[in-house]
A = this chain, B = another copy of it.
Amino acid sequence: MAQDSPTFSPLYRQIKSLIMQGLETGEWRPGEAIPSESELAERFSVSQGTVRKAVDEMAAENLLIRRQGKGTFVASHNDPRAFFRFLRLIPISGGVEPSHSMPLECWRAKAGPEAARVLQINIGEPIIVVRRLLQFSGKTVVVDEIYLPGEVFAGLTLDILKDYQGSLYSLFETRFGVRMIRAEERIRAVAADRVSAELLNVEEGAPLLSVERVSYTYGEKPVEWRRGLYSTAEHCYLNELS
């Protein structure tokens, strides 16, 4: 027999949607605790187990963080544990190195066809372009070019970037209320152009990793397009497959 209710959605998913709404509307902000499971159960008139299943899924998606005895918290890029969530670069020699972001430029532009397509905006709409370096132990390992929709990040300047201590996504979150949830990276090998070669201190034409990233916020909305060139002389991109 055919499926009885083609749009069947279990209760816990509806609860999940309601909690998602609370995140999107800012009812509960990154870093804050959401109400306890029993409170949510009462508010939504379901059993605690059903709330639990909704929260379980969201915790698995890195949207919420559970801490036994304390509560359930909205995930935040300010949390130092989240720092390497999107940066898969590690030193070949092993160990952990201090990293540092060094913004170079920040200017306004109009979206070309490609940026418009990726960011799902119209051609000609304002965008912001950022160029920056990423350094490990003082050595430049990544040169990034970052394209942001101007509407969302209105007011972003080089000074803001330079002054901010912490990761870029932490800045986006606290200053612009934009929380990156998910990203896709497309990786290729390319030859270093003259400018990048100089910045990365490698020969012109040396092989580099080209990492193109599109980041999404709530509702699968793309809000960042980034292209990075990684020098893999002393670092490598680590990926866990499972």
Contact = CB atoms under 8 A, between A and B. Distances in A.
A185 interface: yes
Interface of A, secondary structure class, is strand
Interface string A187-220: 1111100000000000001111100010000000
A164 B176 CA distance: 55
Contacts of A184: 238-241
A35 to B, nearest CB: 24
A236 interface: yes
A104 to B, nearest CB: 22
A232 B209 CA distance: 10
Contacts of A191: 206-207
A239 B190 contact: no
A70 interface: no
A242 interface: yes
A44 interface: no
A146 to B, nearest CB: 16
Contacts of A241: 85-86, 88, 182-185, 213
A207 B189 contact: yes
A32 to B, nearest CB: 21
B207 A237 contact: no
Interface in A57-81: 60-62
Interface of A: 60-62, 85-86, 88, 92, 181-191, 205-209, 213, 230, 232, 236-242
Given A186-B238, A188-B209, 14 more contacts: A62-B242, A182-B241, A183-B241, A185-B238, A185-B239, A186-B236, A186-B237, A187-B239, A188-B232, A188-B236, A188-B237, A191-B207, A213-B241, A239-B239
